[in-house]
Chain A
């Protein structure tokens, strides 16, 4: 069966307004949120894996989107989180613009194909301008999930 983003993104892993303004602070805040909701066991190791990756690539894919991601055994299964930044965060995006919609993806080391598929699905979904607009205007985590469910294939 095809992998669906909506199967992995849980309502409790959605932060409608993230406070942090810097990319490492955003990652920290989002990981803390995931740890507090028991999506992640080892927050420190998770942040380390994400930060290492941020130094080696730009996870800001343009159009106001950033997808920080990592394969790390700090998680036991594929996990996703979403945060919205009202002011935008500098993720060294390829178009030089700030990121307002931030999706975080992680999987254990041994789930590479699932991880690649999730990244590909999400990147494809977020190329649609209507999806980006709806996510920016969504009023609640449930509305975010509805937008994703209605637009993913």
Chain B
């Protein structure tokens, strides 16, 4: 399988446990790593309702955490000599993922294995590796 470009998809509430695995994978296959953090507006609205906070407050917190996660991945990747590109998007994860696969000619998608991600696995136009 061709593995020149790997896309790591991060979403809100993601922990950092997969970072080292993805970086090791990229190092092994000498892949370029594209890291995408997506904020889904529907999830923000749902979280705001559940936590009795404003959507804006929830969004700002997720945005800050998203950027931190992106730079944590980048720091680990660059420290291991893996070429990295960071991306931050608002929108539906499924649509954003498809757009990225097409735009950057992605060979493989990696993401955290979570129940929430089942539809992403199903909708992906390329192979997905759940970590």
Listed in ascending order, the chain A residues whose CB lies under 8 Å from chain B are 53, 56-58, 61, 71, 94, 112, 115-117, 119-121, 123-124, 127, 153
- Please, could you name 8 A-B residue pairs with CB atoms under 8 Å apart, sorted by A? A56-B83, A71-B75, A112-B75, A116-B68, A119-B71, A123-B71, A124-B67, A127-B88
Is B52 in contact with chain A by the CB < 8 A criterion? Answer: no
Chain B CB within 10 A, most for which of A57, A115, A116: A57
Task: Give the secondary structure class of B's interface.
Answer: helix
- Cα–Cα distance between A120 and B37 once the two chains are bound (Å): 12
- Cα–Cα distance between A112 and B83 once the two chains are bound (Å): 20
User: Nearest CB to that of B103 among chain A residues?
Assistant: A94
A53 near B85: Cβ-Cβ < 8 Å? no
Using Cβ atoms and an 8 Å threshold, which residues of chain A touch B81? Answer: 56
- Cα–Cα distance between A123 and B85 once the two chains are bound (Å): 14
Query: Given A57-B86, A116-B68, 7 more contacts at CB 8 Å?
Result: A56-B77, A57-B78, A57-B84, A115-B75, A120-B64, A120-B67, A124-B67
Using C-beta atoms within 8 Å of the partner chain, give the interface range for chain B.
20 to 34
A58 near B85: Cβ-Cβ < 8 Å? yes
A119 near B67: Cβ-Cβ < 8 Å? yes
Contacting residues of chain B (18-66) with chain A, CB-CB under 8 angstroms? 60, 63-64
Task: Give the secondary structure class of A's interface.
Answer: helix
Return A56 CB to nearest CB of chain B, in Å.
Answer: 5
Return A23 CB to nearest CB of chain B, in Å.
Answer: 15
B75 near A57: Cβ-Cβ < 8 Å? no
Listed in ascending order, the chain B residues whose CB lies under 8 Å from chain A are 60, 63-64, 67-68, 70-72, 74-75, 77-78, 81-88
B68 near A57: Cβ-Cβ < 8 Å? no
User: Nearest CB to that of B63 among chain A residues?
Assistant: A124
Using Cβ atoms and an 8 Å threshold, which residues of chain B touch A116? Answer: 68, 71-72, 75
A94 near B85: Cβ-Cβ < 8 Å? yes
Return B71 CB to nearest CB of chain A, in Å.
Answer: 5
Return A103 CB to nearest CB of chain B, in Å.
Answer: 13
- Cα–Cα distance between A57 and B23 once the two chains are bound (Å): 14
User: Nearest CB to that of A123 among chain B residues?
Assistant: B67
A57 near B74: Cβ-Cβ < 8 Å? yes
- Cα–Cα distance between A119 and B72 once the two chains are bound (Å): 10
- Cα–Cα distance between A58 and B63 once the two chains are bound (Å): 20
